[in-house]
Structure 1
């Protein structure tokens, strides 16, 4: 699994990627790897009523990756994801950490094979 944002020819950036830019409609033909960057927590919440197989409580955060050094139209892109800890505050610096299993595939009503949920969590730096 990769953590990539889409970039259109006009320098607009979106996460997740889209076939066409949500801002101008141009094809997003380039990508920008976010997995080696740090981000800042914009806002966060903790859910205590989670779907089957998702940890309880489940702290989630919207984070902002600074792209001002990329020379693009957009200076940042935001992403939503789980946080590795409940100890997080707005303004904290976090880094993406790859996780093979974001939820337990053996819990729920669907076949476990269809519940392959890997991805990234935000880990405070």
Structure 2
């Protein structure tokens, strides 16, 4: 599975991808997989009010990925929001994306469990 950010012809990069660039309106025709990169925690929070099936407390972080090595990118970084694998995280920590087959328990009080089959990435401290 990929963790794709989108890039338009003007080099603007955003996560998640969009049909049109949020900055300039041009189509995002290229993707950049963030799954093999490390990032830095910019900010984080513990959420104790979570939807059914989402772990509680749920630690979330905004992570900044350095993309200065990406040819054609006009941005220096792209940010992404995600769950953290641990409750122990601090601003400035280095993290890496790790694939998780189930981000939410589909059997935990949800009316239509098959609509809640979510996989994706969490941030894991390096």
TM-score by length of 2: 0.96
Q: Which residue of 2 aligns with 1:83?
A: 84
Residues 95-117 of structure 1 show CA distances to partners (whole Å, capped at 9, x for unaligned) of 00000001100123331111111
User: Does the residue aligned with 1:7 lie in a helix, a strand or coil?
Assistant: strand
Q: Which residue of 2 aligns with 1:67?
A: 67
Cα shift at 1:77: 0.4
Larger CA deviation: 47-56 vs 5-14: 47-56
C-alpha distance in 2 between matches for 1:87 and 1:114? 31
Provide the alpha-carbon RMSD of the alignment: 0.9
- Residue 95, structure 1, aligned to residue 91, structure 2: no
Query: 2:53 touches 2:110 (CA, 8 Å); kept in 1?
Result: no
In structure 2, runs of 5+ residues without a counterpart are none
Q: How many positions carry a matched residue from both structures? A: 125
- Residue 23, structure 1, aligned to residue 45, structure 2: no
- Residue 50, structure 1, aligned to residue 50, structure 2: yes
TM-score by length of 1: 0.97
C-alpha distance in 2 between matches for 1:17 and 1:73? 16
Residues 76-96 of structure 1 show CA distances to partners (whole Å, capped at 9, x for unaligned) of 000000000001000000000
User: Does the residue aligned with 1:42 lie in a helix, a strand or coil?
Assistant: strand
In structure 1, runs of 5+ residues without a counterpart are none
